[in-house]
Structure 1
Amino acid sequence: MAENNAENSEVSGRVKAIMCQPCFNYDKQTKAEKFCPTCNEFQCLDCSKVHYTHAFLKSHKLVNANEAKTKQGSFDMKGLDQCDQHQKVLEFFCEDENQLCCSTCAFLYHRKCHSVVEILKVTGRSTNTKSTLKVKMEEVRQKAYKIVDSIVSSKEKLDEDAKEIPVKIRRMRDDVMKMFDELEVSVVKDVQSFRKETLEKLSIKQSQNEKYLADIKACLKTIDGVYQKGSLVQQFIVEQKMKNDVNVLHTNVDAECHDLKTVTVSFDFDETLKLPPLSVTDYIPGQLTLKFCLSEVASTIVPVNKAMILTPVKSIDLKQKEDDVKEPLYSGIDFLPDGRLVAVDNKNKKLLVYNEKLEKVGSYQLSYMPQSVVAVCDEEVAVTSANKFKLDIFNVNKSNDIKLDRTIKVKTEYGSICQKDDKHFVGGTIDHSTPFRIISSTGEEKDFNISFPNKSYPLGTSACTYIRSSDKVVLTDRYEHTVYIYDVKTNTRVVVKDDQIKEPCGVAVGSSDTILVCSKGTNSIVQISQTGQILSSYKIDMELPRTICVSRDKSFLAVTGGCVGKIKLQKLKISY
């Protein structure tokens, strides 16, 4: 029986015939002459003819059966061999674009490509791909294991640290109780010693005064008796004899009376030990520290607060033009999202537009002296005025045409302005009880929930900006040489005073939400972290810088300022 089983036996010198699979399905034994890689079948000549009679099979490329050494496996590709767009079998590979293609993709999208070949013909070229993919995937897997191990270790360490904290507190409590026990022993010992010594002194004083009382009693008894029963001679003798004794007693008792003291003993805690209703964290000595440590996997992460590097890109002198009444003074500048720059000329009452090369491409004549400008969206800006109690919203289209879109009426005078969110502004006030306020797009005004010192700012003495990510407002105080960072969430503030900050004016939010301030007195731009740390100070080629803005992608800043005859507008690139 074993000799007749062609499937399982191998006879020396005999070549095992490859049979046609379609015929085998009908219990026919026919030798295979062809192999279709797409169908993954060995076929006889008759069965293979269907590839020429059916249109959908004509793209299949047949090879001789003896050229296909072994039949391809029946691995389930789970759709990987199908075109995502046309759901057809992937048969071609575009070497120009490094893409797999079905017949439709090859015809529609790769006709102009120079090298579109059948997948079957390029499979032999990528002998190292398998090993390369496995090596790369093994590297990825090792990194993933490392990350998981690091996270598991971190979680375990976190659990250990969390369990240790109450242990430390209980240990501290025991130490404190031990300290109080020792304090009690020491104080009681001192009290008892003081009490003993003082009682001895008081007892002596008491005995002495009790003796005085006995002498006084005897004297009074003698005096009363002689006045009741004695003669005048007897009375006179007693008075003379006892006069000296009475004087001595009077002197002694009077001295004791003047030296009379009430002795007490007490023990009190001083003010360093605070008591409720203050928060427990105010009077318990202890500190909870939360700390994240970077693992080796994440060691390449760039620190957030890096010192910036400014590289000059373009600088222009702002000269008085023929249509200008005075030398220009740009009191407000801002970047539009597309990189153009808008500016307001306070002295000549203009709204201006500059392209990326700082070429003036648009101008609009205003009827008032503008104070500041902020880009609201792609083609919309808002302009403030000192005494007009309004915000004007202008449309600035791609052709640099400017037109007034609408006016927002307000009840407060505003100098600086920035966006809080899509529907609100933050405006720096002029001569108001609060230095900055929230303004809605409909003109409603309200204050932040922040406690401010009792101080108002005249025009030109302060500016503000808003940090969205942390809900903080930054305020410059020009003549106090100070920058304040107000945290709205906690109603706290950081006060920044430094020799590098003199007459701070304009302020903007830079990369990583650091703060950029024009230091007018030092002709520089100072970079400050949100915690108040001075990160860098950059001297610029300009006298008295006063207004600053940062592009939307945080890659450029613009600054303007100067003195009479030397007004400049500069653009600088930000890098780290």
Structure 2
Amino acid sequence: MAEKESENLENKFFSNVVPGRVKKILCQPCSSKNTQTVAEVFCSTCDEFQCTECSNLHTTHAFLRNHKLVNAKEVKTKPGSIDMKGLDQCDEHQKVLEFFCEGENQLCCSTCAIVVHRKCHSVVEIQRIAGRSASTRSELKVKLQEAREKAVTVVKYTKLSKEQLDQDVKEVTLKIRRVRDDVMKMFDELEVSVSKDAESFKTETLDKLTRKQSNSEKHIADATKSLETIDNVHQNGTSSQQFILEQRMKKQVDELSSNVDKEYQRLETVTVSFDFDETLKLPPLSIVNYVPGQLTLKYSVPEAVKPKTPVDPIVKFTKITSIDLKQTGDDTKEPLYSGLDFLPDGRLIAVDNKNGKCLIYNEKLKTVGSYQLSYMPQSVVAVSEEEAAITSANKYKIDFLRVSKSNEITLIRTCEVKTEYDSICLKDERHFVAGTQDDTRPVHIVSLSGEEKDFSISFPNKKYPSDTSACTYIGYSDKVVLTDRIEHTVYIYDIKSNTRVVVKDDQINEPWGVAVGPSDCILVCSNKTHTIVQISQTGRVLSSYKLDMKHPYRVCVSKNKSLLAVSSNLNGGTKLQLLQVTY
């Protein structure tokens, strides 16, 4: 059957074979128009056999000239490829998708590129940009696999608990019936009695679960209402009113947190069983007064099937190396590293705001590459294996630099934007999350081609001047984290629910740089306490690590979450440090 399918596939591209005749290869574009024309060439990029007239498009259009054409007679069969189930075909022209318009964020076939996007200046071949998504795709797959496994576990143990509860209750009845043949009357009464207790327990247990759900939903409502009250008083109330509210709500918040924690820790599996006594004797009393066995009703969590309660691990840091950032011969000022990020291969990329430089460091914090910029850079983010993007102060643009494996840095392109951006990080393969300057929408979504749009978040009507805030994004849970240096506050915005958590703590003083750490925890530079503060996604301060440097300023974490880099902004003593991350 497989041979037959192979033959049919081959006949789609070759004319019918007649004894004594030479097999002819037909032009695929012409065949799609019900015209039979002998193919002269095969284009491996288009993945098509083409006649002379159809192949002439490769010389007419510049973006098709680098396609590889070979004589059709030298190709015995059409090269095989993965069955994409039609996903690699243009919906309108039913041709292979070969190009991508970065300006309009659209996949294109050759016809689309020629007819629809002929005026676009950012049409590139897919094979040239396909590699840039490798690291992001890997991270997405890991997170999706983790999410799927956790969801499967929830479904598994929920179904198991329900099935086990029902099965146990039925087993009680079946167990009793096996003995009932010997003592019919007693076991008739026993069945009624024990089954009634088991059903009663089942009903009671379901009631408890319903109440537990109802209590948790009330906790959600109470927390949401309290957050709205705090935000309202914080934004519109006087300082006295804010103080009064904080004091009045301390007990209420502590009580709510305590109640939620208790419910959170009570993950149990309900089982019901019935066992007979070792020696069964027929009693002279009624079954109501004597039961020849014991009905055991209990909650238990067997180790083999125990669901894991989510626990926020405490991150630990160990200093690997540290360097002093001093003014060198070609520097006009003492360096200030306002942006840091790790490339996928572990190299560290940094931007020097004061001297307009982009630098590359190896794993020992040795400078291996440098590039002079014509402006003051603000932040940097690794886009792919060999590409980085830089935001600039007082400039409405994002520069894209190529960082080769040999540490050569070159400017690839400049993306014009309508907003001044400070901090920047990746949202997904095609978009950034960028912190704005002096804008009531403190965080924007920016595509790699420069398109800007807002998050669906109700931000307070507040602007952040330069160097007063930084942002990052937690992709797995779709949350935006924003630091407020002036208010000594960290905000965690949940995109899906349009809610936020306000984090204030004595350990957080002038929070500046922020990054996502292991298990998607939040790592914040606390400038005045000279520490890295670890915060959970729920807003709980988990730990604080005292750094061997003053005034930490910017922070980043490697792609595998094993390394952390942090820079300082102390005049006359700036440093760059590399730390090992464990948990």
TM-score by length of structure 2 reads 0.51
1:416 aligns with 2:458: no
Instruction: Give the Å deviation of 1:456.
Output: 0.4
Provide the residue aligned with 1:310 in structure 2: 317
Provide the residue aligned with 1:524 in structure 2: 531
Contact 2:443 2:471 in 1 (8 A): yes
Instruction: Give the Å deviation of 1:441.
Output: 1.1
Contact 2:157 2:307 in 1 (8 A): no
> Structure 1 397/522 Cα, relative in aligned 2: closer, same or farther at 3 Å?
same
Could you tell me how far apart the structure 2 residues matched to 1:474 and 1:407 are?
Answer: 27
1:164 aligns with 2:206: yes
Could you tell me how far apart the structure 1 residues matched to 2:157 and 2:473 are?
Answer: 41
Instruction: Give the Å deviation of 1:155.
Output: 3.9
Indicate which of 411, 421, 436 corresponds to 1:404: 411
The CA deviation string for residues 333-390 of structure 1, in whole angstroms up to 9 with x for no partner, is 0000111000000000000000011000000000000000001111110000121101
Partner letter of residue 442 of structure 2?
Answer: P
> Structure 1 158/557 Cα, relative in aligned 2: closer, same or farther at 3 Å?
farther
Could you tell me how far apart the structure 2 residues matched to 1:416 and 1:487 are?
Answer: 19
Provide the residue aligned with 2:516 in structure 1: 509
The answer for unaligned runs of 5 or more in structure 1 is 1-147, 173-288
1:55-134 equivalent positions in 2, closer than 5 A: none
1:434 aligns with 2:441: yes
Instruction: Give the Å deviation of 1:295.
Output: 4.0
Provide the residue aligned with 1:571 in structure 2: 578
> Structure 1 167/506 Cα, relative in aligned 2: closer, same or farther at 3 Å?
closer
Identity %: 61
2:470 aligned counterpart, secondary structure: strand
1:9-20 equivalent positions in 2, closer than 5 A: none
1:363 aligns with 2:370: yes
Indicate which of 445, 459, 463 corresponds to 2:470: 463
Provide the residue aligned with 1:59 in structure 2: none
Provide the residue aligned with 2:91 in structure 1: none
> Structure 1 388/161 Cα, relative in aligned 2: closer, same or farther at 3 Å?
farther
The CA deviation string for residues 445-485 of structure 1, in whole angstroms up to 9 with x for no partner, is 01000101110000000000000000000000001000000
> Structure 1 443/156 Cα, relative in aligned 2: closer, same or farther at 3 Å?
same
> Structure 1 570/162 Cα, relative in aligned 2: closer, same or farther at 3 Å?
farther
Could you tell me how far apart the structure 2 residues matched to 1:543 and 1:158 are?
Answer: 62
Instruction: Give the Å deviation of 1:165.
Output: 4.0
Could you tell me how far apart the structure 2 residues matched to 1:158 and 1:481 are?
Answer: 53
Could you tell me how far apart the structure 2 residues matched to 1:360 and 1:149 are?
Answer: 52
Instruction: Give the Å deviation of 1:156.
Output: 3.5
Indicate which of 433, 450, 455 corresponds to 1:448: 455
The answer for unaligned runs of 5 or more in structure 2 is 1-155, 168-201, 215-262, 269-300
Contact 1:304 1:512 in 2 (8 A): no
Provide the residue aligned with 2:505 in structure 1: 498
Provide the residue aligned with 1:40 in structure 2: none
Partner letter of residue 540 of structure 1?
Answer: L
Provide the residue aligned with 1:543 in structure 2: 550
1:280-359 equivalent positions in 2, closer than 5 A: 292-293=267-268, 295-297=302-304, 304-359=311-366
Contact 1:395 1:405 in 2 (8 A): yes
Could you tell me how far apart the structure 2 residues matched to 1:472 and 1:161 are?
Answer: 39
Provide the residue aligned with 2:389 in structure 1: 382
Could you tell me how far apart the structure 1 residues matched to 2:500 and 2:340 are?
Answer: 27
1:442 aligned counterpart, secondary structure: coil
Instruction: Give the Å deviation of 1:300.
Output: 10
> Structure 1 445/150 Cα, relative in aligned 2: closer, same or farther at 3 Å?
closer
Could you tell me how far apart the structure 1 residues matched to 2:444 and 2:325 are?
Answer: 32
Could you tell me how far apart the structure 1 residues matched to 2:433 and 2:416 are?
Answer: 15
1:462 aligned counterpart, secondary structure: coil
> Structure 1 503/155 Cα, relative in aligned 2: closer, same or farther at 3 Å?
farther
Could you tell me how far apart the structure 2 residues matched to 1:328 and 1:365 are?
Answer: 13
2:427 aligned counterpart, secondary structure: strand
The CA deviation string for residues 41-93 of structure 1, in whole angstroms up to 9 with x for no partner, is xxxxxxxxxxxxxxxxxxxxxxxxxxxxxxxxxxxxxxxxxxxxxxxxxxxxx
> Structure 1 403/152 Cα, relative in aligned 2: closer, same or farther at 3 Å?
same
Could you tell me how far apart the structure 2 residues matched to 1:354 and 1:546 are?
Answer: 18
Larger radius of gyration: 1
Instruction: Give the Å deviation of 1:163.
Output: 8.0
Could you tell me how far apart the structure 2 residues matched to 1:168 and 1:305 are?
Answer: 27
**Two-structure CA RMSD over aligned residues (Å):** 2.8
Could you tell me how far apart the structure 1 residues matched to 2:157 and 2:378 are?
Answer: 57
2:327 aligned counterpart, secondary structure: coil
1:533 aligns with 2:540: yes
Contact 2:555 2:565 in 1 (8 A): yes
Could you tell me how far apart the structure 1 residues matched to 2:157 and 2:486 are?
Answer: 55
Q: How many residues are paired up?
A: 314
Instruction: Give the Å deviation of 1:167.
Output: 10
The CA deviation string for residues 95-143 of structure 1, in whole angstroms up to 9 with x for no partner, is xxxxxxxxxxxxxxxxxxxxxxxxxxxxxxxxxxxxxxxxxxxxxxxxx
Could you tell me how far apart the structure 2 residues matched to 1:439 and 1:530 are?
Answer: 24
Instruction: Give the Å deviation of 1:153.
Output: 4.2
Instruction: Give the Å deviation of 1:562.
Output: 3.8
- Higher RCO by CA contacts (8 Å cutoff, separation 6 or greater): 2
